[in-house]
Amino acid sequence: MRIVPLGRQPYTVTEPAMRAFTTARGPDTEDELWLVEHDPVFTQGIAGRDGHVLAAGEIPVVRTDRGGQVTYHGPGQIVAYPLLDLRRRGYYVKEYVYRIEQAVLDTLLHFGITGHRVRSAPGIYVRLDDPFGHGVLRVDSADPFRGLGKIAALGIKISNHRSYHGVALNVAMDLAPFARIDPCGYAGLKTIDLQALGVQVDVGVAGQRLALALQNRLA
């Protein structure tokens, strides 16, 4: 899998480039992993509800063809876009999602943080009161996000067994724009980044670590 560091780009440049790569690729095209920071933008999934955008203000809202609801991208967040031929790799969508999430968990663990999955809510979460603890997460059925902060959001698209879109890991960013939306469609869902958890790391270094984990888990 070829790693392609794109630096900082507007979402409106990267997103159509992903679609063009996916449409044009052939059976022998090498898989790629794009790493990018985006200018501030809210992105809506294909079934995203406008009501989940509370106050976009000066930040543009872009509709996409990925799954999921609204999320925010901005500087200090590393976004990884695996552009893969899943048929050639030999696994289906559920396993693909699991592998991406596991790569994020591996990345967090490298920095000493324990991440968690929440059933039916793709992405990775941390316990705000004990992000470095290794205890089993006990989910409150009445409020599954109680005491949790979302540190990585996942939204993918599969077309003819080819993947695009991907996963965003919050590293050291301005988290305030998340308050302008219902993140991933969940009102009141807290978001967090590595910096707020006390982990000081350059976004490029975090991106390299995430890329390594994705290479391992998506192999």
Question: Where residue 202 sits, what CATH number does that domain have?
Answer: 3.30.930.10
Mean pLDDT of 79-94: 96
Q: What confidence score (pLDDT) does residue 179 get?
A: 96
Q: What confidence score (pLDDT) does residue 120 get?
A: 83
Would you say 156 and 142 are in contact if contact means Cβ atoms under 8 Å apart?
no
pLDDT at 78 over 90: yes
Q: What is the pTM of this model?
A: 0.96
Q: What confidence score (pLDDT) does residue 142 get?
A: 79
Domain ranges, residue 140: 2-217
Q: Given the residues 104, 184, 194, 213, select the one marked as catalytic.
A: 184
pLDDT tens-place string over residues 170-193:
999 999 999 999 998 999 899 999
Q: What confidence score (pLDDT) does residue 173 get?
A: 98
Mean pLDDT of the chain: 95
3-state secondary structure the chain: CEEEEEEEECHHHHHHHHHHHHHHCCCCCCCEEEEEEECCEEEECCCCCHHHECCCCCCCEEECCCCCCCEEECCCEEEEEEECEHHHHCCCHHHHHHHHHHHHHHHHHHCCCCCEEECCEEEEEEECCCCCCCCCCCCCCCCCCCCEEEEEEEEEEEECCEEEEEEEEECCCCCHHHHHECHHHCCCCCECCCHHHCCCCCHHHHHHHHHHHHHHHCC
Number of domains in the chain: 1
Q: What confidence score (pLDDT) does residue 136 get?
A: 84
Select from 106, 104, 114 the least CA-distant residue to 79.
104
Q: What confidence score (pLDDT) does residue 137 get?
A: 86
Q: Is 184 a catalytic residue?
A: yes
